[in-house]
Structure 1
Amino acid sequence: MDPISIATTAFTVIKQGVSVGKELHSLSGQIVKFVKQMSIVEEEHKKEKSKWYTSSNEEALHTYFKLKQVHDMENQLREMFMLYGAPNAWSEFIAIRTDIKKKRQAAIAKKKKDRENLIMMCAYAALIIALLGLASLLLINSGLLKN
């Protein structure tokens, strides 16, 4: 299933749960599923938007409308939090989500930096090995180093 379908299904379950009197905390699994899929839709939209070769208006509109749909559902979820949740529940939720997102982005940046450092170290090691091999070859050819 695509992310928008999963998000819509999760949102429908949340909405139905609230309408029959369930507490928001008892719907946390569906809320997590919705937010995860919402993030995926947002990332897909960012990727499509940043592609330099995207010339298709249809594709751009498709991701835009998915994003718009998921943001509309998020606004409705915010209203549910405000009506049925604890005071400041939405603000706390957003703060926690922002903190997790920042930590995740920092971890991705660290992983990317570590990978770049590893590639650089491998390049240096290859350069040193090549220089040692060249020096040995020159010494052998000049007769200074005998087998």
Structure 2
Amino acid sequence: PVDRRVDEGDTLTVGGSTLKVWHTPGHTEGQLALQMGPLLFSGDNIYRDGGVGNIDAHHGSDIEQFIASLERIRDADDIEWLLPSHGPVFRRDPQMIQKTIDRLKGYLYLADFGTCAIGWPLMDEWEEELLRDFDPQQAGRRPAEASGRGSQ
């Protein structure tokens, strides 16, 4: 059970340390990062190799929000070190983060990212649209036969 809900700007005290909450959506809507001085526990926002957490709209991913969260991390001059959820700690590198942002911007209109890309419906919406006018009685017939224009 949830003991306490936290949001952007809240602070948590853990032992003798104070952590500031950042809302960093993208990988998921509720993703958070926690700042402790010059350290940012950055979750699935970005890894040392420039990779990011999985992008999957069915589980709350949003590429545009991901980009905004990465821009915030890129521009955070008071953050020196990133501690991701996977892999080693690394120094915040604005150029590397920008390359990741540029890569994500390229995903915005790709069909392969149809579950998150702009102008592409979620697969379940797409399937619903495709099946809306589907007539199982016509399935398997050639187009001319299905329309009644075929040879008699």
TM over 0.5: no
Write 1 or 2 for the structure with the bigger share of strand: 2
- Indicate the structure whose relative CO is greater, using CA pairs within 8 Å and at least 6 residues apart: 1
Q: Which has the larger radius of gyration?
A: 1
